[in-house]
Amino acid sequence: MTTPTLRVSNLEASYGQIDVLRGLNFEVGEGEVVVVLGANGSGKTTTLRSICNMPIVDSSGTIEVDGVDVSNADTGSIVARGLAHVPQGRGTFPELSTYDNLMIGAYVRKDRKAIEEDITRWFDMFPVLKERRNQTAGSLSGGEQQMLAVSRALMSRPKLLLLDEPSLGLAPIIIENLFDTFSRLNSEEGVTMLIVEQNANLALNIADRGYVLEAGEIALAGDAEKLKNDPAVQEAYLGA
């Protein structure tokens, strides 16, 4: 059996007195797109934050990236291991130019020439970003900022991309484009993804597998197709 890109065991997390995650176990295999569904407050964002060992969260449990335990590593070295996190609500650097946002995304890399090539590559994928090259990220529209946040994450050439509600606050047409892009990134570039999403329909369409979080526990797990047809999921998330 191959080592999964990400393995999470017994993950528990709390904010002060409030328990948010109660023992999560899941994995994301190489090349997979895995989606985490769940209502507001079920612990989706906390899961992603705990994986990156971000401050604010108190978490315990084991996080393994490619079989290496990174539970106690700091965020910087986790990123250096090939994780990239697009936080909820854009997560760009509003005062920095679009170009500098991409440059800082490559902070852990040292191959200057390849970095420039990658910038060109994402500019080709999102031409609007190229037009906004010297504009500050704060002056971009919501959709443009989301594209920038995703490209910035890709600048670190991640093995595993963590996406926290990429569709939040975007127009339906932009969401569709964005998810098309994710799908292409996965099939063409082989980027493994863990997507947290409320827009279950779209997310399940591009995902291989999914987990449903309820009150900090995994309530359901399975193939995307199976989840899509599950009556409970349909009722709660697909509005059928």
Q: Is there binding between residue 80 and another protein (CB under 8 A)?
A: yes
What number of CA atoms fall less than 13 Å from residue 205's CA on the CB side? 14
Residue 25 burial (C-beta neighbours within 10 Å; 0-12, 13-18, 19+) = middle
CA angle 181-125-156, nearest 5°?
Answer: 80
> Minimum distance between the CB of residue 217 and another protein, rounded to whole angstroms?
26
Site for another protein in 116-135 (CB under 8 A): none
Q: Is there binding between residue 107 and another protein (CB under 8 A)?
A: yes
What number of CA atoms fall less than 13 Å from residue 183's CA on the CB side? 13
Task: Output 29 or 82, the one with its CB closest to another protein.
Answer: 82
Q: Is there binding between residue 96 and another protein (CB under 8 A)?
A: yes
Q: Is there binding between residue 215 and another protein (CB under 8 A)?
A: no
Q: Is there binding between residue 73 and another protein (CB under 8 A)?
A: no
d(CA 131, CA 129): 5
> Minimum distance between the CB of residue 155 and another protein, rounded to whole angstroms?
8
Written as six digits, the tokens of 59 are 């978490």
> Minimum distance between the CB of residue 163 and another protein, rounded to whole angstroms?
12
Q: Are 161 and 154 in contact (CB under 8 A)?
A: yes
Q: Are 140 and 98 in contact (CB under 8 A)?
A: yes
Q: Is there binding between residue 92 and another protein (CB under 8 A)?
A: yes
Q: Is there binding between residue 105 and another protein (CB under 8 A)?
A: yes
Q: Is there binding between residue 71 and another protein (CB under 8 A)?
A: no
Query: What is the contact surface with another protein in residues (CB under 8 A)?
Result: 52, 54-55, 75-77, 79-80, 84-85, 87, 91-96, 100, 103-105, 107-108, 136, 138-142, 152, 156
